Amino acid sequence: MIRQDDAQAARVGIVTGAGSGIGRAAALELLRNGWSIALLGRRREPLVEIAHAREFAGRALALPCDVSDARAVAASFDAVVARFGRLDLLFNNAGVGNPPGPFDTWTPAQWRGVVDVNLNGMFFCLQSAFRIMSAQTPRGGRIINNGSLSAWAPRPNSMAYTATKHAVAGLTRCASLDGRALDIAVGQIDVGNAHSALASAMAQGVPQANGELAAEPLIDVEIVGRSVAYMASLPLDANVLFHTVMATKMPFVGRG
């Protein structure tokens, strides 16, 4: 019989974009809750900083990875299984913001740069997680995609980011359906105005739908980390399909 402490220690997750912002907050919260976590991100230094923390000794693995590179993703996921033996959770979080300026000034490379990370990268990670979770024993696991409120309503001049986040909602629905037969639960967290590199400008003032510039309230990114940990804590026969966590007074409901 496996003791509760052992069962907790056996839980293995991957967090992409783990070096900063929402990914870092989620990784730290999961580690504090007893998970073993592989930290994926483009920059090695912030990943190593978490992995070398004494309190997480042996449970945190730093894996520099560009999620837009399908081969790098597959190799990283294989490394997680080689180290920890299985995969119970993917927080599919890595993402980039919009190119600057109006969309009619963007180059094809700027457009593709957002799509490669926010959509292709999320698909590659989802695909690798499905392959592992469907074949392991016990079978199954959980995937949480980072959607954003932009999966539901755009901001001015946000076409690349909004288009990819709308696509993420489609990935979530399809993967949730396809995961049923494989004991894989797939959900999405949609975050509004958490303190991160992508959202820091909100406090200074951002364009509104009526053309005005207005500062918006933000929430502590640790709140998002706790939300991810809650979704991850559920048994596989329960799923949060879409979870919205946002600053109470931000202009989302009624936007426009």
Q: Are 233 and 194 in contact (CB under 8 A)?
A: no
Domain chopping of the chain, boundaries: 4-246
Q: Are 171 and 214 in contact (CB under 8 A)?
A: no
SS3 of 252, please?
Answer: coil
Output the pTM of the full model: 0.91
Report the alpha-carbon distance of residue 131 to residue 138 in Å, rounded.
14
Q: Does residue 138 have a cis bond before it (omega within 30 degrees)?
A: yes
**184-227, pLDDT tens digit by residue?**
999 999 998 887 766 667 767 777 877 788 778 789 999 999 99
Tell me, what amino acid is at 223?
Answer: I
Report the alpha-carbon distance of residue 26 to residue 232 in Å, rounded.
10
5: exposed, middle or buried (C-beta count within 10 Å: 0-12, 13-18, 19+)?
exposed
pLDDT attached to residue 166: 97
Radius of gyration of the chain (CA): 18
Cβ-based neighbours of 132, under 8 Å, separated by 6 or more: 77, 81, 86, 87, 141
Report the alpha-carbon distance of residue 23 to residue 16 in Å, rounded.
7
What residues are labeled active site?
Answer: 161, 165
Report the alpha-carbon distance of residue 104 to residue 111 in Å, rounded.
11
The answer to whether residue 1 scores a pLDDT higher than 50 is no
Alpha-helical regions (H) of 10-93: 21-32, 44-51, 70-84
- CA pseudo-torsion sign 11, 30, 169, 116: negative
Domain 4-246 in CATH 3.40.50.720: yes
Both tokens of 245, joined, read 């966590």
The answer to whether residue 173 scores a pLDDT higher than 50 is yes
**62-81, pLDDT tens digit by residue?**
999 999 999 999 999 999 99
| Mean pLDDT in residue range 231-246 | 97
Query: Would you tell me the crossing angle of helices 122-135 and 70-84 to the nearest 10 degrees?
Result: 40
Confidence band of 119 (pLDDT split at 50, 70, 90): very high
Confidence band of 5 (pLDDT split at 50, 70, 90): very low
